[in-house]
Amino acid sequence: MQIVLLCLMILKLTPAFAATVNDAYGGDPGCALGSGIYRHTCPEAEAIIFYWVEQAVAEDSRMAASLLRLHFHDCFGCDASVLLDDTQDFVGEKTAGPNLNSLRGFEVIDKIKSELELLCPQTVSCADILATAARDSVLLSGGPIWEMQMGRKDSITASKDAANNNIPGPNSTVDVLVAKFENVGLTLKDMVALSGAHTIGKARCTTFSSRLQSSSDSENIDFIASLQQLCSGLDNGNIVAHLDLATPATFDNQYFVNLLSGEGLLPSDQTLVNGNDQTRQIVENYVENPLAFFEDFKHSMLKMGSLGSPSNGQIRRDCRTVN
């Protein structure tokens, strides 16, 4: 705990790094991100977010992956639209295919927002909370730390159709993955690095059902057999498997090691080595050099985190509803 807090304090003392990142990966010109946004208006913001994330992960180690995934599914927009409940005016994103009965951690965000609203009302956006909670979840799982870029606004609407169309599905091919990432300005390398988030967390049998049917000679037969046994029940919708069997709660490069062994859980994972020579080379590099993965992951997270913050957004008082 003390080491983690020391790391956070050190990062707050490095505005030059933050400025460099903002120049390179700045978001919507109408809502540029930067460091120290809440230094005077809500100086305890990051500490409060970290406290609640630490508590949640201590109670349920899977929550680290869940909070990280919430941020992923909020982007490519990074505007807290994923947190909005349905209204008479729009159908939100919570019931979109990639999110329904899948996203978790909303109550953690609610707790963080409630305390921040008491301390510094309508100051810290829900989108910034999501991005910071994701960073802290990676750190608490043993992964890298990076300077948070703040200043996102919260959207005043949400789109189920956009979530269905933009979020890559678990059966995506490399070509589909690359296209969806490039559509928002992220590269093939960003896509592979960010896929490394699957080094923690779980997935339901329904998301990797096509892996159960595989009979290719290049597949890991024992791994496939273990998945078939796990998901053999008629009602397997709530059965989950670790995305990384070896170190399921540790943020490391084991995910990429698993891919080379044919033990990628989702089809969209395994395709990184089976479906494209370029992505396979990046995977192999991350297996050999875990520090390269950490560096690329944090920089890709900064790029993704700068996407699409609306200049006409707001700071919601309640992350589930528009003001």
321 is in an annotated binding site: no
Q: Given the DSSP bridges, would you call strands 202-204 and 240-242 parallel, antiparallel or unpaired?
A: antiparallel
Q: Both ends of the chain: CA-CA distance in Å?
A: 36
107 is in an annotated binding site: no
Catalytic residue among 40, 71, 73, 299: 73
154 is in an annotated binding site: no
State percent of the chain over pLDDT 90.
Answer: 78
Angstrom distance (rounded) from CA 103 to CA 100: 7
Angstrom distance (rounded) from CA 93 to CA 160: 4
- Is the pLDDT at 57 greater than 70? The verdict is yes
Q: Evaluate whether 303 touches 153 at the Cβ level (below 8 Å).
A: no
The class that CATH gives domain 185-303 is mainly alpha
The number of CA neighbours under 13 Å toward the Cβ of 253 is 20
Q: Which of 312, 321, 249, 254 is nearest to 80 (CA)?
A: 321
Angstrom distance (rounded) from CA 301 to CA 309: 15
252 is in an annotated binding site: yes
3-state secondary structure 242-272: ECCCCCCCCCCCHHHHHHHCCCCCCHHHHHH
Angstrom distance (rounded) from CA 126 to CA 257: 35
Q: Which of 157, 162, 133, 128 is nearest to 35 (CA)?
A: 128
71 is in an annotated binding site: no
244 is in an annotated binding site: yes
40 carries an active-site annotation? no
3-state secondary structure 184-237: CCCCHHHHHHHHHHHHCCEEEHHHHHHHHCCCCCCCCHHHHHHHHHHCCCCCCC
Same fold, 40-167 and 185-303: no
Helix and strand numbers, DSSP H then E, in the chain: 15, 2
Kindly report, residue by residue over 124-159, the tens digit of the pLDDT.
Answer: 999 999 999 999 999 999 999 999 999 999 999 999
The helix (H) or strand (E) run that includes residue 55 is: helix 45-59
**What pLDDT sits at residue 214?**
62
The residues with which 154 forms a beta bridge, in sequence order, are 314
Kindly report, residue by residue over 89-113, the tens digit of the pLDDT.
Answer: 889 999 999 999 899 999 999 999 9
What amino acid occupies position 196? G
State percent of the chain over pLDDT 70.
Answer: 89
Its pTM stands at 0.89
Structure-token match 């979840």, residue found: 137
Kindly report, residue by residue over 217-265, the tens digit of the pLDDT.
Answer: 567 899 999 999 999 877 877 899 999 999 999 999 999 999 999 999 9
Domain locations in the chain?
40-167, 185-303
271 is in an annotated binding site: no
Contacts with 194 (C-beta within 8 Å, 6 or more apart), sequence order: 72, 181, 186, 297, 300, 301, 304
Name the token pair of 62. 């899977």
Angstrom distance (rounded) from CA 104 to CA 302: 22
In CATH, the number for domain 40-167 is: 1.10.520.10
Kindly report, residue by residue over 269-302, the tens digit of the pLDDT.
Answer: 999 999 899 999 999 999 999 999 999 999 999 9
198 is in an annotated binding site: yes
20 is in an annotated binding site: no
- Is the pLDDT at 189 greater than 80? The verdict is yes
